[in-house]
Structure 1
Amino acid sequence: MEETSAKSFMSVKDMTFTAIMTVLIAVCSWISLPIGSVPFTLQTFGIFCAAMLLGGKRGTLAVLVYLLLGALGVPVFAQFTSGIGILAGTTGGYLIGFLIIPALVLLTEKLLGEKLNLPIQIGVLILGLVLCYTFGTAWFIKVYSEKAAVTVGTALKWCVLPFILPDLGKLALATVISGRLKKYVRL
């Protein structure tokens, strides 16, 4: 066997855990309650778990793979939907905005290194969620306004306000589960 001096992009272990988190996000998206314009799902729980368990690099990759699978037609989005049409539709901004959450964790890891503790990580995840809401709501207004007028207040009422407390609950649950899993599984 020939040895190479170049480090590979990802180990088999990294690819495996990234794939597992991609599947978790997909399964969480299938658990869906259609409420208004944006369905209530467990996707953010999966995103938070990916970011907390895998860190920024692998977590971002898991979300990216999830989005690419959906774009290519694999029914991984809420209500078993898929395709570019979903990403370009009214809720597509929230889906694409999911990338912000682990990417912000990655940026924070690069800036703080070993100083990234649990309270900072939770704060970063909350900030990522706020940025995801912001991007998704702006996208929603842009796409929805092509059919009918919608105000920022109405968009927030439909797309953000009903989800704040449940998303914070999912963050809390992901924090507890991630903390426990890290004790038993070497990620």
Structure 2
Amino acid sequence: MPEQTASRLRTKDLTLIALFTVLTAVCAWISVPVPAPLIQFTMQTFAVFAALLTLGGRRGTYAVTAYLLLGAVGAPVFSNFRGGLSVLLGATGGYILGFFFQALLYWLMTARLGETLKVKIAASVAGLILCYAFGTAWYLVLYAQMGKPVGVLTALGYCVFPFIFPDLVKLVLAVLLAQRVGKYVQ
């Protein structure tokens, strides 16, 4: 049998990617309803952090991508057991799609700067900021297209400010999880 190269995914890798894809879906279903126009609090961000910190940039990005593709084809993997392009193209879809850019940035930063804990945390925070920026820009554009323009500070008040502290707590929990189980997935 030919020797596997570092770029090929082994069965173990595919299993871990699938596991974290499912974890992300389950975490999306764990939500706290809030009054409109605020965005629901979910545990998706925790799952994205956990996938990246535990699996690394490459496999973590694959897990996030698989999650997004499942949702895009209609699997009910998003909050409130929703799925389909209508969710991704809706007002909050930018934040969900932002997970992909968050994962790519994490992968890029850890590939360039190393896999130290400081780099991983910095990459996670930078990725979260990118996700917030992409999602907020998406939100602003969609509301403007619907004839209901919203100011940047209003959008940030609905979609970002209430989530900063909870998302940082999720990051800490994901770091703790990754430190505990990371040695088993390498």
TM range (shorter): over 0.9
Identity %: 47
Report the equivalent of 2:100. 99
Give structure 1 regions of 4+ aligned residues with deviation exceeding 3 angstroms. 4-8
Q: Distance in 2 between matches of 1:153 and 1:186?
A: 41
Q: Is the contact made by 1:51 and 1:101 (CA closer than 8 Å) also made in structure 2?
A: no
Report the equivalent of 1:61. 62
Q: Distance in 1 between matches of 2:182 and 2:75?
A: 30
Q: How many residue pairs align between the two structures?
A: 182
Give the TM-score normalised by the residue count of structure 1. Answer: 0.92
Report the equivalent of 1:32. 31
Residue 5 of structure 1 and its aligned partner are, at CA, apart by: 5.6
Equivalent positions of 1:85-164 (< 5 A) are 85-112=86-113, 115-147=114-146, 148-164=148-164
Q: Deviations over 1:27-82 (max 9, x none)?
A: 00000112233111000000000000000111000000000000101000011001
Residue 103 of structure 1 and its aligned partner are, at CA, apart by: 1.3
Q: Distance in 2 between matches of 1:79 and 1:58?
A: 26
1:182 has 2:182 as partner = yes
Q: Is the contact made by 1:94 and 1:135 (CA closer than 8 Å) also made in structure 2?
A: yes
Residue 186 of structure 1 and its aligned partner are, at CA, apart by: 3.2
Name the Cα RMSD after superposition. Answer: 1.4
Q: Distance in 2 between matches of 1:58 and 1:182?
A: 13
Q: Is the contact made by 2:54 and 2:185 (CA closer than 8 Å) also made in structure 1?
A: no
Q: Which amino acid aligns with 1:181?
A: V
Q: Distance in 1 between matches of 2:63 and 2:123?
A: 18
Q: Distance in 1 between matches of 2:115 and 2:61?
A: 17
5+ unaligned residues in a row in structure 1: which ranges?
A: none
Q: Distance in 2 between matches of 1:72 and 1:186?
A: 29
SS of the residue aligned with 1:105?
Answer: helix
Q: Distance in 1 between matches of 2:152 and 2:52?
A: 29
Q: Deviations over 1:156-177 (max 9, x none)?
A: 0000001000000000111111
SS of the residue aligned with 1:76?
Answer: coil
Residue 110 of structure 1 and its aligned partner are, at CA, apart by: 2.2
